Chains A and B, each alone.
Chain A
Amino acid sequence: MDVGVLIVAMLLIPLIGAIVIWFLPENFGLVSTIHALLAVVELVLTLNVVSFVIDGSIYFTLHKYLILDPIAGVFLTLIAIVGFLVNMYAINYMKWDIQKNELNLKEVKLYYGLMHLFIFTMMLSVVSNNIAIMWAAVEATTLSSVFMVAIYKNKRAVESGWKYIIICSVGLAFALYGTVLMYGAGYNAIGDSENPMFWSNLMASANLLNPDALKVVFIFVLIGFGTKAGLAPMHTWLPDVHSEGPSPTSAILSAVLLKCAIAAILRYYSIIGHSSVGFGYVETLFLVVGLLSIFIAALFIIRQRDIKRMFAYHSVEHVGIIAVGFGVGGPLGVFAALFHTMAHSLSKALAFCASGNIIKIYGTRDMEKMGGLVKINPLVTTLFAVAIFSLIGIPLLAVFVSEFLIIKAGIFTSEYLQIVLFIIGLAIIFIAVLAHFNEVAFGNVRGEVKTKKVETSANLPLIILAILIFTFGVYKIDSWYLLLSNAVKIILG
Chain B
Amino acid sequence: MVTLDLVSILSLLMIVTSLAVFGWRNIKQAAYIYVIQTMLLITIFAVLAQKYNAQELMSWAIIGFFLKVILVPYILIKLIRKLNVIIEEEPVEGFFVSPIIAIAFSLATAMMLYPILKEFSLLKEDIPLIASITVFMIGIFGLILRKNIIKQIMAFCLFENGSHLTLALMAYKSPEIVDVGILTDAIFAVIIMSILAMRYYKYFGSLDVTKASNLKG
Chain B residues whose C-beta falls within 8 Å of the C-beta of A143 in the assembled complex: 185, 188-189, 192
Contact assessment for A173 and B116 in the assembled complex, using a CB-CB cutoff below 8 Å: no
- Interface range, A side: 35 or more
Contact A159 B212 (CB under 8 A): yes
> Would you call A170 and B122 a contact (CB within 8 A)?
no
Of chain B, the residue at the smallest CB distance from A135 is B182
Interface readout for A279-298 with B: 1 if CB under 8 Å, 0 if not?
00000000000000000000
- Tell me, rounded to whole Å, the shortest Cβ–Cβ distance linking A195 to chain B: 8
Whether, in the assembled complex, A176 has its beta carbon less than 8 Å from a beta carbon of chain B, the answer is: yes
The complex places the Cα of A259 from the Cα of B192 at a distance, in Å, of: 24
CB of B149 closer than 8 Å to a CB of A = yes
Q: Restricting to B154-196, which residues have a CB under 8 Å from any CB of A?
A: 156, 159, 163, 166-167, 170-171, 173-175, 177-178, 181-182, 184-185, 188-189, 192-193, 196
What's the least CB distance linking A369 to chain B, in Å?
17
Measured between beta carbons, the chain A residues less than 8 angstroms from B159 are 170, 173
Q: Which residues of A contact B193 (CB under 8 A)?
A: 162, 165-166
| Chain A residues near B181 (CB-CB < 8 A) | 132-133, 136
The distance from the CB of B208 to the nearest CB of chain A, in whole angstroms, is: 12
- By beta carbon, the residue of chain B nearest A182 is B120
Verify if A69 is at the interface (C-beta below 8 Å from B): no
Q: How many A-B residue pairs have CB under 8 A?
A: 125
Which residues A125-159 have CB closer than 8 A to chain B? 130, 132-133, 135-136, 139-140, 143, 146-147, 150, 153-156, 158-159
A-B contact pairs, 18 of them (CB 8 A): A133-B177, A146-B192, A153-B199, A158-B199, A158-B200, A161-B196, A162-B193, A162-B200, A165-B192, A166-B156, A170-B140, A187-B173, A188-B119, A197-B175, A212-B116, A213-B120, A300-B217, A309-B217
* Chain A neighbourhood of B175, CB < 8 A: 130, 195, 197
Does A89 reach chain B (CB closer than 8 Å)? no
Residue A160 CB within 8 A of the other chain:
yes
* CB-based contact A184/B170 at 8 Å: yes
Minimal Cβ-Cβ distance residue in A for B185: A139
> CA separation between A74 and B181, bound complex, in Å?
25
B185 touches A170 (CB 8 A): no
- Min C-beta distance of A419 to chain B, whole Å: 30
Residue of A nearest to B212 (CB): A159
> Contact: A136 with B215, CB < 8 Å?
no
Q: By the criterion CB–CB under 8 Å, are B209 and A162 in contact? A: yes
Residue B98, interface by CB 8 Å:
no
Interface majority SS (helix, strand, loop, mixed), chain B: helix
B30 contacts the other chain (CB 8 A)? no
Q: Which residue of A lies closest to B120 (CB)?
A: A184
B149 contact set on A, CB distance < 8 A: 162
Verify if A181 is at the interface (C-beta below 8 Å from B).
yes
Closest to B201 in A: A158
| A158 touching B196, Cβ below 8 Å | yes
Kindly state the separation between the CA atoms of A431 and B163 in the bound complex, as whole angstroms: 46
Contact yes or no, B117 A183, CB < 8 A: no
Task: Quote the shortest CB–CB distance from B168 to chain A (angstroms).
Answer: 10
Q: Which residues of B contact A216 (CB under 8 A)?
A: 116
Q: Is the CB–CB distance between B182 and A140 below 8 Å?
A: no
Name the residue of chain A whose CB is nearest to the CB of B164.
A176
Q: Is A382 an interface residue (CB 8 A)?
A: no
**Which residues on the B side are within 8 Å of A162 (C-beta)?**
149, 193, 196, 200, 209, 212
Q: Which residues of A contact B185 (CB under 8 A)?
A: 136, 139-140, 143
How far apart sit A154 and B167, CA to CA, in the bound complex (Å)?
39
On whether the beta carbons of A156 and B174 are closer than 8 Å, the reply is: no
Whether B136 is near chain A, meaning CB under 8 Å from some CB there, is yes
* B152 interfacial by beta-carbon distance below 8 Å: yes
Q: Roughly how many angstroms separate A303 CA and B149 CA in the complex, as a whole number? A: 32
Kindly state the separation between the CA atoms of A163 and B212 in the bound complex, as whole angstroms. 10
